[in-house]
Amino acid sequence: MGNRSWLAAISGVAIGAVAARAAYSVFRRRPPVGEEKTWTRTNHRGEPITLLEGPAYVAAAGLAAALTPGLPPRARAAAVLAGVGSGVLGGYDDIYGSTASKGFKGHLTALARGEVTSGAVKIAGIGAVGLTSAALAGGSRADVLVNGAIIAGGANLANLFDLRPGRAIKVGLLTGAPLLAASLYGSRPAAAALAAVPLGAALALLPEDLAERAMLGDAGANAMGALLGLAASARLGRPARLGVLGVVVGLTAASEKVSFTKVIAGNPVLNRIDLLGRRPVPR
């Protein structure tokens, strides 16, 4: 059983990493939707940056979820749906979204005015993806509701960290690595596979992110967060999952009032981790 867990972990990371580099190379030559300028944005330095890292992450994570050994059919389907479904909805917001409405409050306020924003479509869609993925993975009705909320909430929360180079991926790695280690220690192949799937692609694309050549965007961040939420749902007991959900909800609510960037910059430890591997900040 232990060997099967290691095989699942190594395969998930390797498939995700190789697929991510291949997909990124292909998408830079031929974007999946529109032209390259469709995916070009201006970063925090005022420099152009591509969002094509996101579709590359979604494609790689989807392939890793489909091919990594150790996953029962229903868990495999849940992983593919969580990663690809959330990623596609995030990509929709990347292409068609605007900055007029931000956060849950902004999108709900616009909805109250009768305006259906791309963000509102994404929120509703990712909620449905989370619940469906949780139902596919199995469990009681209560577990499905909790797990679905973790998957959807994780997708949204990961995106809130994608404001500086490498930050969202670092958060993903710091979250996913303990889940993977716990799954290996507990000899649980399915949980190990689910934790490995989002990590391989993230590791492979981290250099592009840190170098400020590319960023995850909504597509990549939503996919990574949803997959990590699914991995947490598979590995943790109900009390721990309720705790995770509480943290996700709390941080999401705090983001409406507090700048994560300012909080991180004000904490020496978090700031050092945030700056690790990045280009120097101009003074």
pLDDT digits (tens, 9 = 90+) for 190-229: 999 999 999 999 999 999 999 999 999 999 999 999 999 9
Residue 44: its pLDDT value, please? Answer: 82
Of residues 125, 51, 53, the one with CA closest to residue 82 = 125
**Per-residue pLDDT at 99 exceeds 70:** no
pLDDT at residue 102 is higher than 80: no
Over residues 23-47, the pLDDT tens digits come to 999 999 999 988 888 899 988 888 8
282 or 36: which leads in pLDDT: 36
pLDDT of residue 282: 63
Minimum mean pLDDT range among 17-21, 43-47, 102-106: 102-106
Cα–Cα distance for residue pair 194/41, rounded to 1 Å: 31
- Residue 105 in this model has a pLDDT that exceeds 70: no
pLDDT in tens, 60-85: 999 999 999 999 999 999 999 999 99
